[in-house]
Structures are given as C-alpha cells and as structure tokens.
C-alpha cells in the first residue's frame, strides 16, 4: 500500500512569528511525505509574518492561506483551521519548531500499523539556535511512564495533558466531537481537549521517537517552563495547583454532556473536591477517596507529594522549607 497517495492536512496558526517561521515552513514543505496541504491562518500579525506567508504561498501550491481580519486568539484560530480540514487525516503545527524530514511519513506509518485514530510522539527540546536542552520532552516532564501505562485509557489525558499538539496526527472524523474547543480556563489548552476527547472516544498510539525540534525561546505560549519551581512558599504552589485543577475540571463540568455518563460523575466530584480544599489552610479530612481516584494513576512519590500539598498543607509547609534549603545548598535554586 502506498500511503503517499493519501493527502494530509497540516494546520498552522500564526501570530507574530516572523523570527522562526521560514525554518518551520521549509521543514514542513520538504517532508519525505509530499502529499500534504498546509492550511495556515494568520491571526492579525503585526510583524512580517503575513509577507513571509504570501511569499511561500506563491512558491508552493500546497499552501492554503487565510488572513483573519479580527484577532481570534490562539485557541479559536486553531478551531477555525479544524473547520477547514477536508482530508481524512490532519496534523497540528506550532510556528517556531522544526520538523525532521520523515515526521509526516513516520506518523502515518504508525497510525496505520496500530489502526489508531490519533498518534502522537515525543519531542527534542531545543533552544533558539536549535541546540538540545532536553533530549526528551516527555522524560523531562515525567510523562513517559504515564503514557506507556495508560495509552489505551481516557486516564492518559484526564488529570493533566500528556499529548503535545505539534506531534499529533489524527483522523478528521472526530473533529465534530472536538468542536467547539472550550476556552473556559487559561490553564486548559486546545491539545489537552483534543487529547481527552480522542483518548475517550478513539484509539491512541504513541511514538517514543522524536521527529520534531521543540524550540524554547522565551516567547512560547506553552512550553517546558515549570512555574511552580520559582515559588518560595508552599502556599504559592498549592494555590497554583488547585487553580489549574479547577480550570481543568471546571472545563470538564461545563462540557459534561460531551463525556460518557461514567466520566460525568467523576468530573463533578473532582471539581467539587478542589473547590472545597482551596479554603482548607491546614488540614483536609474529607473526600480522600476522590483524591485517590484521580491520583492513583501517578507514581507513588507524585501521589504522596500531592496528597500532602492538597490535604495536609500545614505539614507540607515545613517539608517544603527543608526541601528549598537543600536545593539552595545544592546550587539548584
């Protein structure tokens, strides 16, 4: 079977991306898999992004270019692109990365081999000059174990996002389930939503290989920065963790009719739990069963750390101070 016959739609949302855009476009257009359609939507860029896009669209007929008249925002711009998909398969792209030449070809092969509805992969994290920072994004973010263990379950993407959008190849027949993409919380992004929908209703496969250089340059909207590592007080960490979870489960609850009934009840219980503990300053002894149901998929250390942070913050404050002192002595803070 010649998989090159099947057209792949690649979706690229741009906004003020002139600095690295040419490298990305070259890497996509020079893929070993040639039968692609690169659909681009520019969201009112104020730099030279549109000029670059016009230049490339004149040179390559595979580019379909849209220029928004009013700023949609990152998520709604991707939603606009999803509505333009005509092929059976589509991929997502950020504007500042570099794709290895075989990224599309290998993704298609994996999807076909696994008879999957979505395939995603690991990434090599690089700096602005494409020098390696972390060989594996998923190892650095401690996602690899979770991915391997729960690849066939909605639990893969339920508690937090394990699927990086720019690595995704997916079947377009699920787009009606994905749209509209919720915008309830700044802590809940489009690839998290795509991931939870696909891991709930479809079959997901994973490629541990890295076919993309994931560029971190200080202006990324989403990346490897671990905000909580900058905090000096446990109360700051706890507030962030709870707000993130309220954003995630609040989004689930507001879209509860889009989940199977067996998940709807857990969505509500999880939201109620985090809403309840936000006012517990020292100890919480209620609804530990909900915490266990949510975190039992994690490592023992992650489970224990989060249990203390969420339910025993008074004890956690002392442990956090000791940990911070140790990190300072070790020169890591």
pLDDT for the residue 217: 83
Range of lowest pLDDT (3-12, 137-146, 189-198, 264-273): 3-12
Over 90: is that where the pLDDT of 223 sits?
Answer: no
Over 70: is that where the pLDDT of 164 sits?
Answer: yes
Range of lowest pLDDT (27-31, 38-42, 106-110, 314-318): 314-318
Angstrom distance (rounded) from CA 297 to CA 277: 21
Q: Average pLDDT, stretch 174-181?
A: 98
Q: How confident is the model at residue 219 (pLDDT cuts 50, 70, 90)?
A: low
Q: Could you tell me which residues come within 8 angstroms of residue 301 by beta carbon, excluding any fewer than 6 positions away?
A: none
Q: Average pLDDT, stretch 13-21?
A: 97
Per the model's pLDDT, the better-predicted residue between 333 and 221 turns out to be 333
Tokens of 141: 């973010």
Q: Could you tell me which residues come within 8 angstroms of residue 325 by beta carbon, excluding any fewer than 6 positions away?
A: none
Over 60: is that where the pLDDT of 292 sits?
Answer: yes
Q: Average pLDDT, stretch 6-16?
A: 98
Over 60: is that where the pLDDT of 199 sits?
Answer: yes
Kindly give the pairing relationship between strand 63-67 and strand 36-42: parallel
pLDDT for the residue 94: 96
pLDDT for the residue 325: 65
How far separated are the first and last CA of the chain, in Å rounded?
A: 54
Q: How confident is the model at residue 327 (pLDDT cuts 50, 70, 90)?
A: low
Angstrom distance (rounded) from CA 192 to CA 183: 11
Over 50: is that where the pLDDT of 29 sits?
Answer: yes
What is the distance of C-alpha 228 from the center of its chain?
18
Counting Cα atoms < 13 Å in the Cβ hemisphere of 253 gives 18
pLDDT for the residue 79: 97
Over 50: is that where the pLDDT of 221 sits?
Answer: no
Percent of the chain at pLDDT exceeding 90: 88
Percent of the chain at pLDDT exceeding 70: 92
Q: How confident is the model at residue 222 (pLDDT cuts 50, 70, 90)?
A: very low
Tokens of 174: 């699920």
Q: How confident is the model at residue 293 (pLDDT cuts 50, 70, 90)?
A: very high
Indicate the helix (H) or strand (E) that contains 307.
helix 300-311
Mean pLDDT across the chain = 93
Q: Average pLDDT, stretch 126-136?
A: 96
160 and 248 in contact (C-beta within 8 Å)? yes
Beta-carbon count within 10 A of 141 CB? 18
Q: Could you tell me which residues come within 8 angstroms of residue 285 by beta carbon, excluding any fewer than 6 positions away?
A: 311
pLDDT for the residue 231: 83
Q: Average pLDDT, stretch 226-232?
A: 65
Backbone angles phi, psi at 206, to 5 degrees: -130, 140
In this structure, what is the dihedral angle of CA atoms 250, 231, 190, 279, given to the nearest 10 degrees? Answer: 0
Over 90: is that where the pLDDT of 232 sits?
Answer: no
Report CA-CA distances (Å) from 225 to 11, 128, 221, 229, 298.
25, 15, 10, 9, 21
Over 90: is that where the pLDDT of 256 sits?
Answer: yes
């Amino acid at each position: 079977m010649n998989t090159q016959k099947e057209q792949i739609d690649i979706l690229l949302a741009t906004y003020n991306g002139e600095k690295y855009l040419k490298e990305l476009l070259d890497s996509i257009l020079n893929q070993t898999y040639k039968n692609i359609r690169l659909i681009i939507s520019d969201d009112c860029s104020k730099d030279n992004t549109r000029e670059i896009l016009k230049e490339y669209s004149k040179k390559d007929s595979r580019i379909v270019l849209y220029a928004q008249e009013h700023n949609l925002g990152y998520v709604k711009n991707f939603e606009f692109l999803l509505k333009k998909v005509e092929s059976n398969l589509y991929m997502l792209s950020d504007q500042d990365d570099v794709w290895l030449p075989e990224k599309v070809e290998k993704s298609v092969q994996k999807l076909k081999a696994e008879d999957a509805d979505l395939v995603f992969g690991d990434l090599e994290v690089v700096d602005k000059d494409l020098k390696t920072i972390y060989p594996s994004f998923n190892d650095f973010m401690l996602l690899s174990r979770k991915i391997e263990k729960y690849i066939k379950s909605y639990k893969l993407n339920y508690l937090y996002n394990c699927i990086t959008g720019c690595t995704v190849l997916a079947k377009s027949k699920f787009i009606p389930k994905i749209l509209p993409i919720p915008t309830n919380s700044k802590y809940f992004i489009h690839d998290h939503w795509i991931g939870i929908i696909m891991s709930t209703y479809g079959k997901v496969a994973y490629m541990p290989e890295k076919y993309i250089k994931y560029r971190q340059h200080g202006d990324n909207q989403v990346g490897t920065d671990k905000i909580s590592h900058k905090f000096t007080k446990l109360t700051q960490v706890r507030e962030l963790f709870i707000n993130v979870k309220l954003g995630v489960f609040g989004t689930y609850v507001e879209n509860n009719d889009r989940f199977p009934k067996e998940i709807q009840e857990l969505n509500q219980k999880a939201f109620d739990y985090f809403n309840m503990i936000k006012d517990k300053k020292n100890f919480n002894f209620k609804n530990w069963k909900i915490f266990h149901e949510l975190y039992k998929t994690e490592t023992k250390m992650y489970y224990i750390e989060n249990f203390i942070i969420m339910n025993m913050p008074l004890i956690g404050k002392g442990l956090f101070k000791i940990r911070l002192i140790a990190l300072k002595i070790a020169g890591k803070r």
